Amino acid sequence: MTPIRFGIVTISDRSWHGERMDLSGPALVKAVTEQGWEVTRTAIVPDDVEKIQEVLTSWVDAGETDVILTTGGTGFGPHDVTPEATQAVIQRPAPGLAEAMRTASLRITPHAMLSRAIAGIRAHTLIVNLPGSPSAAVENLAVLLPVVPHAVQLLRDEPSAEAGHRKS
């Protein structure tokens, strides 16, 4: 299988303006590369629906990513618009991923109930919203790690993707 290619987008007004160092993006880059996967793109964007949508659609259209991870902007704050921006660009939802992340996170903190993160597919790319905290972003990514290779095989329409399915 060709290496899985990731894009990582940090969504934060403060990091965008240089007021706060981005720690979540680099933590996700480290977690992804430790799996032997590639990070082909990274960016920091403000909490702005149009700017988030622009990055997501342009990265998918460029065809250089299999998975795009966003970090930040998934809570209840007035500037938290990542789910809305993501919802506008995905073509097919993948609610099981967000449900699994919230379920696992509830074992760590009741604040997981406040996550509005979503996941979905645009063309052949999986887009997943992760929390803005570096530790929470990596913890949520860890929930997805077991299914990412198979998800990418399915999105790439690889014949080998069906090998892992049970025969009835």
Strand ordering across the sheet containing 125-130: 38-45, 5-11, 67-71, 125-130, 119-122, 92-93
Q: pLDDT value at position 168?
A: 46
pLDDT mean for each 10 residues of the chain (168 residues)? 92 96 98 98 98 98 98 97 98 98 97 97 98 98 98 94 63
Q: pLDDT value at position 1?
A: 63
Q: pLDDT value at position 84?
A: 98
Q: pLDDT value at position 167?
A: 53
Contacts of 152 (CB under 8 A, 6+ apart): 1, 4, 66, 67, 126
CATH of 5-30+48-89+97-160, one of 3.30.70.3190, 3.50.50.60, 3.40.980.10, 3.30.450.40: 3.40.980.10
Predicted structure pTM score:
0.95
